Amino acid sequence: RTIDILTVKFGVEILKLIEGRVSTEVDAALSYDTDATIAKAKELLALYQTYGIEQDRILIKIAATWQGIQAAKALEAEGIHCNLTLLFGLPQAQACAEAGVTLISPFVGRILDWYKKAEKVEHYPIDKDPGVLSVKQIYHFYKQNCIKTEIMGASFRSIEQVLGLAGCDLLTIAPNLLAELQQDQREVVTQLSDDHAQAHCQHTIAALSKADFTEQLQHDLMASQLLQSGIDGFIKAREQLSTLLRQSFGLDAEIQP
């Protein structure tokens, strides 16, 4: 509960400085529990309301497991906007589209890291960068099917990756890369545009069942490994925060909250 309150207070302070939205993450330990994710999302929104923040300014951030996507589908049906994170491939993106989520965050850099290690490659040219190519594939799929879900490229390792996705709906870029971009003198060339896609888009996509989703995810070693390791990483970070908070309050770290 303390972590939830702290998280929301950070969100409140950010919203004092910006006109847009802030993402607030559901405990990653709930990533495979649809009902618990829905309940936690509503708890977080209720906390925001105590600070006078309306839910339109909040994106509930949920890991893109099948259970998480179904939770997002239920929340979106109630007008609660969701950001599906730890997204590494088209099956996850397709399920998110069918669920009608507001925004997805495909991870560019983590995909690159995985392929560099798996294929023992030190460098990929940007036109062959697996993370950039993954986001481009999702972008084209969404635009060609008139999907309104926003795509926010995330987890960048270089400004070349950022520039390689110029034109994407949204990008979340670390301060050090923003500083590099500010100093870069190259002309920014649009890499993604929905003008042509929207003019030729289809208005229906095939439904993706849980069995299809699971099978496709399991057959993509990169996506399945990164999804689980990402969830594990978020859980570990939350546990570390819990320990720090208990120490700051002078509590025994062994006592369960």
Instruction: Kindly provide the residue ranges of all beta strands, DSSP E only, lying in 50-111, ordered along the sequence.
Output: 58-63, 82-87, 103-106
Determine which helix (DSSP H) or strand (DSSP E) holds 1, and give its type and residue range.
Answer: none
Look at the block and give the residue holding tokens 């795509």.
Answer: 151
The catalytically annotated residue of 9, 40, 42, 61 is 61
Structure tokens at 3: 């972590």
- What is the distance between the alpha carbons of residues 24 and 244, in angstroms, rounded to a whole number? 20
Environment class of 20 (CB within 10 Å of its CB; exposed 0-12, middle 13-18, buried 19+): exposed
Q: Do 173 and 162 contact (CB within 8 A), yes or no?
A: yes
Contacts of 56 (CB under 8 A, 6+ apart): 21, 81
Q: Is 42 a catalytic residue?
A: no
Q: At what angle do helices 221-248 and 210-219 cross, to 10 degrees?
A: 90
For residue 92, how far is the Cα from the chain centroid? 11
R_g (Cα) of the chain, nearest Å: 19
Residues with a known catalytic role: 61
